[in-house]
Structure 1
Amino acid sequence: MISRTPPALLELAVQSLLRDQALAIPALEDLPRELFPPLLTEALAQRHSEILKAMVQVWPLPCLSLGSLMERGHLDILASALDALDLLLAQKARLRGWKLQVLDLREGPQHHCGVWCAATARPSLPEVRGKRLREKTGQRMEAQQPLRVFIDVSLKDGTLDECQTYVLLWALQRKDSLHLCCHTLNIFTKSIHIMRKVLETLDLSCIQVVEVHCGWELCTLAAFAPYLGQMRNLRKLLLSHIHVSVSEDLEEESLITQFTSQLLNLNRLQELSMDAPNCLEGHLDQVMRSLQSRLHRLALTNCLPSASDLEHLSCWTSTSQLKHLDLRGTKLTNLILKPLRLLLQRVAATLETLDLEECELEDPQLQALLPALSRCTQIKNFVLTGNHFSMDVLKDLLRHTGRLSQLSLELYPAPLESYDAWGAVCPERFSKLCAELMAILRDIRQPKRVFFMCVSCLQCGYQVMYNLGLSPCRCPVPA
């Protein structure tokens, strides 16, 4: 006989209320607030629009999360919830019992925790004092706090999905009553017209992350810049493939200035990533000097910087406390690396990640950096793959970095001696050289994750790797 766990009392109460809407709706005002989150979850699952509408009007918690409606595309249920809010927003002053401060329409379970935490948490002393203050000041204070509505925004070519469009139009018509907030703005469109329509609806001061995932012309970046300058709480900015069109050549200086002048307002920026910023090559110094905040992460990837770009690398205020420096794919072969060496010395006490993959570094450049690298005592992740170093220089590198006890991930290129005259890896020679390098490292410290990587196999494209042993390519072994 199968034994079944009887349903909890809370579950029984929720199911009972949902079975009889005529009884449930009048009873909502008298329900304990702990019952509201599970009742909401079940009402959404069963698409009880009338109960949902009534719950919104008497919601007893600061946050109401309805992101699942956006995720599932339930426009009709979402419209019912917003209609209920309209009845409350239409009042000139909030009712004394109205607790709702945030409507969260972001997708994903990570945005639902606030509902449950708020339901079970006991009021703290400041909360009790705030309640007494509100009782003294009455509805005047309640009227000063606009409702905040949080939404995910991904701008793509074409039209937004139905739910996003509905919320944006709804919020636009009620700008005086609420703030439409977006934490992360992802942009996949080159149309400034689409961006303007959405950005002029959002409370730009709420945006903390902006990621541009498509190639823009410089004029698009300049047109976006005034909106960027209003994002005063921005923490992360990612730009990719910004280029100059033929028609922009004569205006290039002016357009770049329009962008850099807005960077002066980003006092809280912590992460700046620029991938293939072709139009900014030759102007990187101007960009970095415009930043007033101290960055935690700087990524300048897949670009061809000039000597003037990096000349003041170590002097920029924004790079004085870097934790993560990513220069992947940035060609450094023909540059004087003194600015990079000085920067590493300057951030030696804070730097945790250094990524120099595919920078076309050779023995002289690495040797110039070794004294500075040996001072980076906090470094945890160090990537040098895709460069060209001899066995002797790699030995010297390991001796210099051998005492960096925080290192947890090290990725090095195979020694040049691992390849034959045609550039193909010789597995036995590669394995022997790597074993020798590991022995040097173990004499100094106990390494954690250390990998030596060859270039991809010319036949199968697989990358030969050495860790505790050799990981060969996928080519069939000849009989």
Structure 2
Amino acid sequence: MHRHRTWTWNPSSLQDLARRCLLKDAEMSITDLEDIPTELFPYLLLDAVSFRSLKTLKGLVLTWPFPVLPLGIYIQQSNSVTAYFKALMDGLDALLAQKVRHRRCKLQVVDFRPISEKFWHRWCGTPIQSSAYGKEPVDHGNPRKHTSASLEMVLDITFGFAALTEQITYILNWARERKGVHLCCKKITFYEEPMPSLLLSGITAACVQEMAVFFTWTSRTMGWFAPFTLILGCMSNLQGLHFITRHGPQELQEQEQYGSLLAAQLPRLQRLRELRVECPFFLRGHVGQILRCLTRSLETLCITECPLPEPDLTDLFQCPNLTQLKELCLRGIPLCSVGESLPVLLENCVSTLQDVDLGVCGLLDTHLEVLLPVLKLCSQLRVLNLRGNRMSMGTLVLMLQHLAGLPHLMLEVYPAPQESYSAPNVLHQRTFELLCAELTEVLSDLGKPRKISIITHYSCLLCGLKFIYNSEPFIKGGYAPECFVKHISFGLTEMNQ
């Protein structure tokens, strides 16, 4: 029997054909663009790149009828300075040289930040009035924050992971060499040595809204760490700080010295909403100082893989500036000595908490049972991760029963029950499977579509980490040979699982 293949024919619209005819046979001048409807400009920009219509690209820049021109897709597609990229930059040069702009041109901001490849097509496929880059620019209000500049270039930069691409280098040099252009870096990522002073010379610290720093502490670190903290303190509009360091100073005196340098600058970041730190030696002894000086309540607090002394944990749990937390992650921080105080922190933000990760914190049944009444009140909770703690089957069943009423809970990660082990860290596979079967029955009795994940290894910090795909949270496991992730669900279709 022969299978008949079904073909789907999607004919081009008359509008598509007309645009392509315009660009296929000839370049379009500014005069040609005079009467083109505003809603066709995004289409024409895509078509001009496809047909390598360089003159048209330049003309589109000079007559662009929106406040923002998003060009991030062209940064992502190629590392080199292509002909169409150069044509776009030549158009910007011509725009700056004009004493009087074209009557249609409203361009204020050129945005080179990464965007989804589908962005342009989504814009072109919807009415222009509903586009984020149509009547309303990317940022609410005036898209150009520096009104003294004729043009603002918005860019994200990564230093140290690899050499800067030709395009990024071109943009940095281009902006430096021209008057009336403000270079605005919203996000900066540093790997290993965050002090490329030559490149930073053209960047305004107050523009940076997000910064990520990844480095290993070495003898060279001492040379750039102090100047780096001073630059950090000047980032008055910083909203997110992601700081990861491997190891740290060995001597306690050095830890205190360098920790004080950084801790002294953090209170200056009055707009900070998100703080993520891993192996944060500089927090020891400074938690209260840092959190008390923040005038704005944090939305995200993530401190991982760092044993904090009890006074620091007490300051953390009782901090009055943590009443609006949406995400709390204390993964890998021993909390058994202060486990009874943890509910105080959660109680302060039960109406906002969406994501709680208390994995590998050394919590026992007694601590988890104290947490349960507070977790039950977290009406916005979407993700709960308790892997790596020591929980009995009875406590796990209590968790499932008490949290069944949370309407937004999407991802639950628990440790394998203590009864699953024949000896410390020795899983009895048959017992584990029987207990998982019992948990399936518990979910069935509760009658609510639900999925939970059970992780068998206590101390693995990598297994059970949360990832986001298509706006949905999920976890990964199996990084350690002895680590196993069991997914248990009830009432969900295969697609939902």
What TM bracket, shorter-length normalisation? 0.7 to 0.9
1:382 is displaced (CA, Å) by 1.6
Counterpart of 1:323, as a letter, is K
1:12 is displaced (CA, Å) by 3.4
Q: 2:177 aligns with which of 173, 180, 185?
A: 173
Q: 2:294 aligns with which of 275, 281, 291?
A: 291
- Contact between 1:199 and 1:227, CA under 8 Å: does it hold in 2? no
Question: Higher Cα Rg: structure 1 or 2?
Answer: 1
Structure 1: gaps of 5 or more residues: 128-141, 470-479
Q: Which position in structure 2 is the counterpart of 1:324? A: 327
Counterpart of 1:177, as a letter, is G
Structure 2 CA distance for aligned equivalents of residues 95 and 18 of structure 1: 21
- Contact between 1:403 and 1:445, CA under 8 Å: does it hold in 2? no
Alignment of 1:193-212 (within 5 A): 194=196, 196-212=197-213
- Contact between 1:93 and 1:143, CA under 8 Å: does it hold in 2? no
Q: Percent identity, please.
A: 34
1:371 is displaced (CA, Å) by 4.3
Counterpart of 2:172, as a letter, is L
Structure 1 CA distance for aligned equivalents of residues 425 and 113 of structure 2: 51
CA distance 1:92–1:245, change in 2 (3 Å):
farther
Q: Which position in structure 2 is the counterpart of 1:99? A: 106
1:236 is displaced (CA, Å) by 2.0
- Contact between 1:312 and 1:339, CA under 8 Å: does it hold in 2? no
Q: Which position in structure 2 is the counterpart of 1:239? A: 243
CA distance 1:47–1:215, change in 2 (3 Å):
farther
Counterpart of 1:455, as a letter, is H
1:446 is displaced (CA, Å) by 3.1
- Contact between 1:183 and 1:208, CA under 8 Å: does it hold in 2? yes
Alignment of 1:320-469 (within 5 A): 320-333=323-336, 335-398=337-400, 401=403, 404=406, 406-421=408-423, 423-437=425-439, 439=441, 446=448, 448-455=450-457, 461=482, 463=484, 465=486, 467-468=488-489
Residues 1:46 and 2:45 are matched in the alignment: no
Q: 1:223 aligns with which of 224, 227, 241?
A: 227
Q: Which position in structure 2 is the counterpart of 1:279? A: 282
Q: 2:86 aligns with which of 70, 73, 79?
A: 79
Structure 1 CA distance for aligned equivalents of residues 44 and 375 of structure 2: 58
1:101 is displaced (CA, Å) by 1.2
Which is helix-richer, 1 or 2?
A: 1
Structure 2 CA distance for aligned equivalents of residues 425 and 143 of structure 1: 64
Structure 2 CA distance for aligned equivalents of residues 329 and 310 of structure 1: 13
- Contact between 1:383 and 1:410, CA under 8 Å: does it hold in 2? yes
- Contact between 2:413 and 2:452, CA under 8 Å: does it hold in 1? yes
Structure 2 CA distance for aligned equivalents of residues 59 and 458 of structure 1: 50
- Contact between 1:18 and 1:24, CA under 8 Å: does it hold in 2? no
1:187 is displaced (CA, Å) by 2.3
1:396 is displaced (CA, Å) by 4.8
Provide the secondary structure at the position in 1 that maps to 2:316: coil
CA distance 1:101–1:198, change in 2 (3 Å):
same
Alignment of 1:119-138 (within 5 A): 120-121=128-129
1:398 is displaced (CA, Å) by 4.6
1:172 is displaced (CA, Å) by 1.2
Structure 2 CA distance for aligned equivalents of residues 122 and 413 of structure 1: 46
Provide the secondary structure at the position in 1 that maps to 2:333: coil
Measured against aligned partners, the alpha-carbon deviations of 1:141-196 in whole angstroms (never above 9, x if no partner) come to x985531212231212553111100000111122x41222233322224241x2x3
- Contact between 1:40 and 1:52, CA under 8 Å: does it hold in 2? yes
Structure 2 CA distance for aligned equivalents of residues 371 and 4 of structure 1: 58
Provide the secondary structure at the position in 2 that maps to 1:331: coil
Structure 2 CA distance for aligned equivalents of residues 211 and 110 of structure 1: 26
CA distance 1:64–1:396, change in 2 (3 Å):
closer
CA distance 1:96–1:449, change in 2 (3 Å):
same
Provide the secondary structure at the position in 2 that maps to 1:121: helix
Residues 1:14 and 2:19 are matched in the alignment: yes
Q: Which position in structure 2 is the counterpart of 1:156? A: 160
- Contact between 1:10 and 1:35, CA under 8 Å: does it hold in 2? no
Provide the secondary structure at the position in 2 that maps to 1:165: helix
- Contact between 2:30 and 2:63, CA under 8 Å: does it hold in 1? no
- Contact between 1:271 and 1:295, CA under 8 Å: does it hold in 2? yes
CA distance 1:285–1:445, change in 2 (3 Å):
farther
Q: 2:306 aligns with which of 297, 303, 308?
A: 303
Counterpart of 2:213, as a letter, is V
Deviation larger for 88-97 or 153-162: 88-97
CA distance 1:447–1:65, change in 2 (3 Å):
closer
Measured against aligned partners, the alpha-carbon deviations of 1:74-101 in whole angstroms (never above 9, x if no partner) come to 5143233222322322346656553111
Give the length in aligned residue pairs.
447
Structure 2 CA distance for aligned equivalents of residues 263 and 178 of structure 1: 30
- Contact between 1:353 and 1:382, CA under 8 Å: does it hold in 2? yes
Structure 2: gaps of 5 or more residues: 1-6, 136-145, 459-477, 491-497
Residues 1:33 and 2:34 are matched in the alignment: no
Structure 2 CA distance for aligned equivalents of residues 363 and 36 of structure 1: 62
Counterpart of 1:16, as a letter, is C
1:294 is displaced (CA, Å) by 1.1
CA distance 1:187–1:21, change in 2 (3 Å):
same
Structure 2 CA distance for aligned equivalents of residues 6 and 117 of structure 1: 15
TM-score, with normalisation over the residues of structure 1? 0.80
- Contact between 1:327 and 1:359, CA under 8 Å: does it hold in 2? yes
Structure 2 CA distance for aligned equivalents of residues 286 and 93 of structure 1: 53
CA distance 1:93–1:337, change in 2 (3 Å):
farther
Structure 2 CA distance for aligned equivalents of residues 278 and 258 of structure 1: 12
Deviation larger for 252-261 or 377-386: 252-261
Deviation larger for 255-264 or 156-165: 255-264
Measured against aligned partners, the alpha-carbon deviations of 1:331-357 in whole angstroms (never above 9, x if no partner) come to 223x22243221122222322222111
Provide the secondary structure at the position in 1 that maps to 2:315: coil
